[in-house]
Amino acid sequence: MPGPHPAPPADALRDAVRAALDGGPAVVPLPRTTRAPVPPGTALVVRTSGSTGTPREVALPAAALRASATATHERLGGPGRWVLTLPPTHVAGLQVVVRSALAGTPLTAADPDAHFTPDGLADLLEPALAAAGDDPVYVSLVPTQVHRLLAAAHDGAPRGLTALARCAAVLLGGAASPPALLERAADAGVRVVTTYGMSETAGGCVYDGAPLRDVRVRVVAPELSEPGRGMARPGSDRSGEIGVVELGGPTLATGYLGDGAATAAAFRTDPDGSRWFRTSDLGRLRSDGTLQVLGRADDVVVTGGVNVAPAPVEALVGELLGGEACVVGVPDPEWGQALVAVVAAPAGPPGPGAALVPVDDDALARVRSAATTRLGGPSAPRRVYAAAALPLRGPGKVDRSGVVALVREHEAHA
């Protein structure tokens, strides 16, 4: 749900976005951090999450936002009513407003000061569903919210999950969606569409691994700095290889305001004139052309001289132990970094006064055995802890540095 920054009422924000899309002043939901001029044609100025360093201001042109919303509705089966549960200060929440404005349908929005709860979501969805008639109802969530809805239903409070299952589609993004979570949601009748994108691509532009209309995806070998080289295409001899994900097409931002060097480094133009945004994520293109994102390049843990991507290990831990998992590296005199997993236990707080507690020996053995068998020995976590919840940053993103701090503090006093 929205963070501490104040936001205009939903109807006022929707009207301002509609005007910006039609050529009016750009909407700037957070105070400016630079004095750089806003380029002509800009409809939104949004901040990045800061996961790669200092947050930057991104200029999103009206054309990019229109292309994104049009392609989204096309992929989902047509425009509908949107329910806003994400902060209208981040690109995922703002895109809900954009889609509603362009669809010309009512926008149902959460109180910006309210905390997300399953019953609170039901309070939003139930009236929207009742009033929708034949219109589909759509909502965007982050994985943490779906975890909470499933946990509440398991504990005998299914109202939020029941309402969610009546939505025509639930866009799920902002962080990796563990396969076990997707399976549990599907079993509950929730029609999840996973999304991948960022502020620089006007939000999600790859749905269920497949790019939206006119969006282009390629994977470039990390060691190749020349744009356009090392591309993996379906059926090519590089298909399936791991590299840095690059995205192109009509949904790209103009660039970063007041930071020409960062813009030049991230947004590149090939000799054929095609423009690309170089993400900070590792991924591979499957043989069917869909994208598999393996996590941020700088999240890779080097343990015993071997690079381990956290995402597959997190999926395995979540599958075996339930809940949302985060895998990090902590300094270790023998391994350089020791692979450690922290899982948000569905049963709730692990104990009074304890931020973390080790899982029992049987659970640790199961995780290590499964990781060794499926992913290889270096991917087996050395230690696994349970927590009441994982620290978050931005709209539902796990704060990995916060997880590392929790582990180091716990182990310093263990």
> Which CATH superfamily is 10-199 part of?
ANL, N-terminal domain (3.40.50.12780)
- Give the pLDDT band of residue 48 (cuts 50, 70, 90): confident
**Among 154-158, 315-319, 387-391, which range has the highest average pLDDT?**
154-158
Residue 44 has phi, psi (to 5 degrees) of -135, 140
Asked if residue 285 has pLDDT above 50, the reply is yes
Yes or no: say if 28 and 60 are a contact pair by the CB < 8 Å rule.
Answer: no
pLDDT value at residue 54: 75
Predicted confidence at residue 115, as pLDDT, reads 86
The strand pairing partners of 278, in sequence order, are 246
Question: For the structural domain made of 300-413, what CATH number should be given?
Answer: 3.30.300.30
Q: Which of 92-101, 391-400, 404-413 has the lowest mean pLDDT?
A: 391-400
Q: How far apart are CA 266 and CA 280, in angstroms?
A: 9
Residue 174 has pLDDT above 80, yes or no: yes
Q: Does 80 score more than 80 pLDDT? A: yes
CA distance 189 to 194: 15
Query: Domain-by-domain residue ranges, the chain?
Result: 10-199, 213-294, 300-413
Q: What percent of the chain has pLDDT over 90?
A: 65
Higher pLDDT, 324 or 364: 364
Q: Class of 213-294 per CATH?
A: mainly beta
**What dihedral angle (degrees, nearest 10) is formed by the CA atoms of 145, 147, 150, 156?**
-90
Average pLDDT over residues 102-130: 93
pLDDT at 222 over 70: no
Average pLDDT value over all residues in the chain: 87
Could you tell me the pTM of the whole model?
0.79
342-397 residue pLDDT tens: 998 754 444 444 589 999 999 999 999 999 999 999 999 999 999 988 888 766 67
Mind listing the pLDDT tens digit for each residue in 126-143? 999 999 999 999 999 988
User: What does the pLDDT average to over 94-101?
Assistant: 96
Query: Could you identify the residue written with the tokens 């999600």?
Result: 204
